[in-house]
Amino acid sequence: MAFDPQTGQFEFNDWNISQAVSDLQRTIPRQNLLDQPAQLAPYECDGLSAYRKVPKMVVLPETIEQCQQIMRYCKERAIPLIARGAGTGLSGGVLPVEQAIVLSLTKFNRIRKIDPLQRLAVVEPGVRNLAITEAASQYGLYFAPDPSSQIACSIGGNVAENSGGVHSLKYGLTVNNVMGLKIINADGEIIEIGGGECMDSPGYDLLALMHGSEGLLGVIIEITVRLVPKPEAAQVLLAAFDSVTDAGNAVRDIISAGIIPAGMEMMDRLAIEAAEDFVHADYPLAEALLLCELDGTHSAIEQQMAQVESIVKNCQAHDISLSQDDAQRALFWAGRKAAFPAVGRISPDYYCMDGTIPRKELPEVLTRITELSKHYGLRCANVFHAGDGNLHPLILYDANKPGDLEKAEQFGADICKLSIDKGGTITGEHGVGVEKIDLMCHQFDSPELLQFHRIKSVLDHQGILNPGKAVPSLHRCAELGAMHVHAGKLPHPDIPRF
């Protein structure tokens, strides 16, 4: 293993695959050790397929002890280890690197316990997000975070990326819905983190630290999630607007009225057209569409929905509809939930961005995105969590057209920098991965990045856990010109070496 100060990256030593198979199969079944090209190919990328790299080896452990064995094996030989869930991530967070072993957690797919009184479930990391809600529904409970990929994505990945969803406005991100974790640290030891069945735990709060740490601090092997009672009812209001600004004002006024919607989503004209063409949700054609869901008791919804209706009318909404039953509510959401594949039908390729801004900045940022769209000559559909200020611009491009991908990436980076300038962040819920690692140099200054490196350096001092993701080296930021370098020296001579 060697560290390259120019790139800030580690170079990991070469190791022998047949030797590793022979070593690991002492405790891991041979068929769970993948080393053939055809077996390895599916692991070359996640949902960000613009970046690909076939891993050297994939291991599918079935027990916690096997996970510990793999971790210790990698530790002793300084082999990079990349834990992988369902592979639905959108930032290249599980992109293999040279010499890496991918540790797939798909066989950890059991729901170990559902406790309706404690309102919690204990699950393995490979359990699908939606499967938790399915299993809890017999008790009138559900797991609140609902990323668009919830049919496929796994809860371990949700923790690693701190996923959100349509209902995060009221119910929070994954971090707000997890009570405890069991992880394997870089030493191969099992660590229990968080209060588990209790509300809090003494000692430093490592529970949130693991959320969104993108596999860099440990491997998650068990998750205790909070379940919430299904509300008695839920209703969606659909409203059309002649301008994105009017819709943005409606969002502002609903929040100002003290209402906390279960979800509040916006779509712009291009997204509406694409979705309507795909799922026929009966959306009115307009410059902007607002979906506002309230949940709670029937009576509370009735009272607050009247307020929401009056607010959107004051903001020049037209074509206002209220869902009359759960079937219609599902139809109203169908267009929003299918917006990404719908956009995929009108363009050979699209690039899904993810930035967060203070919600008062929505109108100005959307106007600026329209200008950038003209500048780059690339269409952009906007579908987003308006209540959270979490944008998802979909940049349409054609990968077969030379230069188009680069233009799309530049456009995306401009949106992220715009978010930072407006007091926002470069990612709301998709993570940094490899996609946004350079943008981290703009988001944070060197003492802040150094705090991250310090944490990493003590929890994984060899830097074997998912190297090259999430947190850029200070050298990398210096090269990008995002950091002041005096006389060739970085601001902190004591930077840990990754």
- Is the Cβ of residue 19 or residue 299 nearer to its own copies in the bound state? 299
CB of 394 closer than 8 Å to CB of 380: yes
* Residue appearing with tokens 């994954």: 174
Residue 393 sits in the site that holds its own copies (CB under 8 A)? no
Q: Residues near 306 by Cβ (< 8 Å), separated by ≥ 6?
A: none
* Residue appearing with tokens 């919804």: 301
CB of 377 to its own copies, least distance (A): 29
Q: Which of 84, 211, 336, 469 binds its own copies (CB under 8 A)?
A: 211
Binding track, positions 1-30, relative to its own copies; x by CB under 8 A: ------------------------------
Binding track, positions 43-82, relative to its own copies; x by CB under 8 A: ----------------------------------------
How far apart, in whole angstroms, are the C-alpha atoms of residue 37 and residue 46? 17
How far apart, in whole angstroms, are the C-alpha atoms of residue 196 and residue 178? 9
Q: Which of 1, 54, 209, 413 binds its own copies (CB under 8 A)?
A: 209
- Is the Cβ of residue 276 or residue 295 nearer to its own copies in the bound state? 295
Residue 363 sits in the site that holds its own copies (CB under 8 A)? no
Helix (H) or strand (E) holding 366: helix 362-376
CB of 194 to its own copies, least distance (A): 10
Residue 475 sits in the site that holds its own copies (CB under 8 A)? no
How far apart, in whole angstroms, are the C-alpha atoms of residue 192 and residue 400? 48
- Is the Cβ of residue 382 or residue 443 nearer to its own copies in the bound state? 443
Residue 162 — left, alpha, or beta (φ > 0 → left; ψ -120 to 50 → alpha)? left
Residue 436 sits in the site that holds its own copies (CB under 8 A)? yes
Residue 258 sits in the site that holds its own copies (CB under 8 A)? yes
Residue 426 sits in the site that holds its own copies (CB under 8 A)? yes
CB of 452 closer than 8 Å to CB of 474: no
How far apart, in whole angstroms, are the C-alpha atoms of residue 444 and residue 186? 26
Residue 303 sits in the site that holds its own copies (CB under 8 A)? yes
Residue 119 — left, alpha, or beta (φ > 0 → left; ψ -120 to 50 → alpha)? left
Question: How many positions of this chain bind its own copies (CB under 8 A)?
Answer: 88
Scanning 16-24, 152-160, 211-219, 370-378 for contacts with its own copies by CB under 8 A, the matching segment is 211-219
The tokens for 302 are 């009735």
Helix, strand, coil percent content, the chain, rounded in steps of 5 = 40, 20, 40
CB of 376 to its own copies, least distance (A): 24
Residue 455 sits in the site that holds its own copies (CB under 8 A)? yes
Binding track, positions 228-257, relative to its own copies; x by CB under 8 A: -xx---------------------x--xx-
CA 62 remoteness from chain centre: 26
Helix (H) or strand (E) holding 137: none
